[in-house]
Structure 1
C-alpha cells in the first residue's frame, strides 16, 4: 500500500489526537507511568491545540494510507536557528515500514528549505527503540535534559540533533 506524506489538514486534528491516544500507551509502557502518559496526552493532544498550532504556522505532516492517518509529525522553528521535531508517531500496525523515516526526511527537507541548519528533538532516555531509529536517520545525542513538567512528573530526555547540509547542486 502506498503511503502519502503531506501537510496535515485542520479537519484531521481529531485523528491526530486519536492516533496519539492509541500509540502512547504502547510506546511508553514500562518507560513512564500510565498517569504520566494520561497527563502528557491531555496537555499535548487536544484537537483544539492541534488546530491552534496549525494556525500558528507550525509544520504538521500527515502520513496517510488511502485516507487513514497512520502517522504524523509536528515541528517548528526555534529562535536559535534550529528546527524542532516536537512530535513523531506512527500507528503500531504501521511501524517498521519506513513511515517514520519518511516523516523525518520531509521535516528535514522543509527545515532546510527554510534556512535551518539543524533539526533537533527530545526523546526519553529509556526509549531505546526510538533512539535507535533516530540514530539510524542521522541524529546524534547532543545533551541530556531533565525537566519537571508538573503534577510530580519529570521528563528525562536526550536532546538529539541532525545537521541539515545543503543538498549537492543547490546554492548554500
Structure 2
C-alpha cells in the first residue's frame, strides 16, 4: 500500500535526509563527481536548509510502501499559476512498481489543490530514466539550463513542465 505523509515539523526532515543519503550517491554516481554529490547534499539537505524551506511553505512528503520509507517529494509555489517540484526521489528497490507515477500524481494533486495550473521541475540532462518517466507522465522539455551552484559546480538540467487538467 502506498501512503504519503506530509512533514510539518523540522524533526521529521531527518527521515528525508536519511533517504537522500542512500538515493543520491546511487542515482548520481554515474553523472556527478563524488565531490559534487557531497557539495549538493550539504547545499540541499543540511538540517537548517530544509527547516528554512519548511518555514517558507515548501511541502515535504515521505512516500511509504507497506510502512517502509520508500522516497520523498518536495514542492512549493513557483509563479502565479505554477508549482515547482523540487525533489522527487525513490529508492531503487521500489522502481518499476508504479510508485514514481503515484508520487508525480501526488505532486499534481497538491498543485491543483492550491489552484495551480502547471507544474515545473528540473532534471539532470544525464538522468535518462527520470526524463523518460516525466515524459510518460506528460511533461515536456521547455528549456535547457546550466546554472552555477558554487565551488565550480553546475546544475546542467532540462526544465520540464506539465499543464494540469481538471482531473487526471
Partner Cα separation in structure 1 for residue 52 and residue 157 of structure 2: 26
Kept in 1, the 8 Å contact 2:80–2:116? The answer is no
Specify the alignment match of 1:28 in structure 2. 28
- 1:157 shift after superposition: 0.4
Deviations 1:16-65 (A, max 9, x none): 11111111111112211111111000110123332332232211121013
Q: Does 1:147 align with 2:147?
A: yes
* C-alpha RMSD of the superposition: 1.6
Q: SS where residue 135 of structure 2 aligns?
A: helix
Specify the alignment match of 1:69 in structure 2. 69
Q: Does 1:12 align with 2:24?
A: no
User: Can you give the 5+ residue segments of structure 2 that lack an aligned partner in the other structure?
Assistant: none
Deviations 1:110-154 (A, max 9, x none): 111211111000001111011011111110111101101110101
- 1:76 shift after superposition: 0.4
Partner Cα separation in structure 2 for residue 78 and residue 59 of structure 1: 12
Kept in 2, the 8 Å contact 1:124–1:157? The answer is yes
Partner Cα separation in structure 2 for residue 115 and residue 80 of structure 1: 9
Of 49-58 and 155-164, more deviation after overlay is shown by 49-58
Kept in 2, the 8 Å contact 1:76–1:86? The answer is yes
Of 53-62 and 124-133, more deviation after overlay is shown by 53-62
Pair 99,8 (structure 1): closer, same or farther in 2 beyond 3 Å: farther
Q: How does 1:82-93 map to 2 (within 5 A)?
A: 82-93=82-93
Q: SS where residue 79 of structure 2 aligns?
A: coil
Partner Cα separation in structure 2 for residue 111 and residue 131 of structure 1: 20
Q: How does 1:13-162 map to 2 (within 5 A)?
A: 13-162=13-162
Partner Cα separation in structure 2 for residue 67 and residue 152 of structure 1: 40
